Homo-oligomer: A and B are copies of this chain.
Amino acid sequence: MIIDCHGHYTTAPKALGDYRQRQTARLGEPGAPALRLDFRIGDDEIRDSLEPHQLATQRQRGVDMTVFSPTAGAMAHHVGNAETSAHWAQACNDLVHRVTQLYPLEYAGVCQLPQSPRASLANCVAELERCVTGLGFVGCNINPDPSDGYWTDPPMTDRHWYPLYEKMVELDVPGMVHVSCSCNPNFHHTGAHYLNGDTAVFMQLVLSDLFKDFPTLRLVIPHGGGAVPYHWGRYRGLAQQLGRPPMPELLRNVFFDTCVYHQSGINLLLDVIPVENVLFASEIHGAVKGVDPQTGFHFDDTRRYVDAVHGLAAPDLHKVFELNARRVYPRLDALLAAQGR
């Protein structure tokens, strides 16, 4: 089977975005109480938002299961405060849960965390627990920059983040390191901030003993690892020069997805990164939606690139398409096993 480990609910019904607008508007009203969830979305609306869009594409491309989370760019953790983020994360996560209930064979849930700049991670721990134990989610997205473009929070290797990691380890769920929107005019979100977030965090991990403290913590760096595989020699060299462990040690806990939208990039990814550390992903319908005039296929049709990598034997393809995801996301594996898959 083929598991896509990186999908966002980018086609969610309009009522979700409308709530967010009302919630944000309320922040500007002095003394007004925060706006809790105040909307309803019917099952048919959810079906209509997926069937002709993400689900159609997924089926067409032969992807069996997508690890599905709220839209990353809309997490916008800089907005309001921790309470704002709590309400918003709950709204988004509950909706993803509805999706997984309607399409249990096609979607498994990953949650958005109610992060807020410089805020404690206590409410993130609570929301993670609610989503995993209550809603059957299999992982979480972690925004390494809740300021959304100014990077004013501590690095992800700082003890500030440890309560979240403790809960992730306890629940045995991985995290995908995924920034949100960018308020900084220097950084286009999907054209710069996303990739830069991936790159920055990988280097934080190179420099840190985080995984000595959390030997079973697993982090997925999306978008093919940002700039990292392309500069793999730089990272191997820097680690050596700085007296840090060699890459294989870090790769016990760090994984990359295949959201790289051309053949040469995927070739490089699978040339330099061990096949055990690469998880198939497309991020549909995500950052890049069009058809590549050079190939006649969608840029984000990453299955074609992975299938076309020279020298990748069938057992390796099996790892990239399925086995790695089941290993990194044990709760996904359990969910699939319970379905007889």
Q: Does A195 contact B (CB under 8 A)?
A: yes
How many residues on A have C-beta within 8 angstroms of the other chain's C-beta atoms?
Answer: 60
Minimum Cβ distance to chain B for residue A18 (Å): 25
* Nearest residue, chain B, Cβ from A267: B268
Q: Does A317 contact B (CB under 8 A)?
A: no
- Name the B residues within 8 Å of A292 (CB-CB): 233, 236-237
Partner of A186, one of B144, B184, B195, B206: B144
Partner of A196, one of B200, B232, B287: B200
- Name the B residues within 8 Å of A145 (CB-CB): 186
Binary per-residue interface labels of chain A (217-260) against chain B in the complex, 1 for a CB within 8 Å, 0 otherwise: 00000011011011111111110110000000000000000001
The reply to whether A154 and B260 form a contact with Cβ atoms under 8 Å apart is no
Partner of A241, one of B207, B265, B288, B293: B288
Quick one: which of A253-284 are within 8 Å of B by CB? 260-262, 264-265, 267-268, 271-272
- Name the B residues within 8 Å of A151 (CB-CB): 149-150, 184, 186-187
Measured in the bound complex, the distance between the Cα atoms of B230 and A224 in whole Å is: 9
* Nearest residue, chain B, Cβ from A271: B264
Minimum Cβ distance to chain B for residue A164 (Å): 17
Binary per-residue interface labels of chain A (293-307) against chain B in the complex, 1 for a CB within 8 Å, 0 otherwise: 110000110000000
- Name the B residues within 8 Å of A287 (CB-CB): 234, 237-238
Quick one: which of A145-160 are within 8 Å of B by CB? 145, 149-151, 153-155, 158
Q: Does A199 contact B (CB under 8 A)?
A: yes
Binary per-residue interface labels of chain A (120-131) against chain B in the complex, 1 for a CB within 8 Å, 0 otherwise: 000000000000
- Name the B residues within 8 Å of A238 (CB-CB): 188, 190-191, 287-288
- Name the B residues within 8 Å of A223 (CB-CB): 231, 234
Q: Does A290 contact B (CB under 8 A)?
A: yes
The reply to whether A288 and B184 form a contact with Cβ atoms under 8 Å apart is no
The reply to whether A233 and B204 form a contact with Cβ atoms under 8 Å apart is no
- Name the B residues within 8 Å of A105 (CB-CB): none
Q: Does A289 contact B (CB under 8 A)?
A: yes
Tell me whether A230 and B186 are in contact in the complex, defined as CB-CB below 8 angstroms, given that A192-B200, A200-B192 are known contacts: no
- Name the B residues within 8 Å of A289 (CB-CB): 237, 241
Tell me whether A204 and B227 are in contact in the complex, defined as CB-CB below 8 angstroms, given that A241-B290, A265-B233 are known contacts: no
* Nearest residue, chain B, Cβ from A239: B191
Partner of A265, one of B149, B153, B202, B232: B232
The reply to whether A231 and B224 form a contact with Cβ atoms under 8 Å apart is yes
Measured in the bound complex, the distance between the Cα atoms of B188 and A261 in whole Å is: 27
Q: Does A34 contact B (CB under 8 A)?
A: no
Tell me whether A288 and B230 are in contact in the complex, defined as CB-CB below 8 angstroms, given that A200-B186, A200-B192, A200-B196 are known contacts: no
The reply to whether B260 and A290 form a contact with Cβ atoms under 8 Å apart is no
Q: Does A203 contact B (CB under 8 A)?
A: yes
Minimum Cβ distance to chain B for residue A236 (Å): 7
Tell me whether A299 and B236 are in contact in the complex, defined as CB-CB below 8 angstroms, given that A204-B188, A231-B223, A265-B230 are known contacts: yes
* A-B CB proximity, top 5 nearest: A233-B262, A233-B261, A227-B227, A230-B230, A237-B288
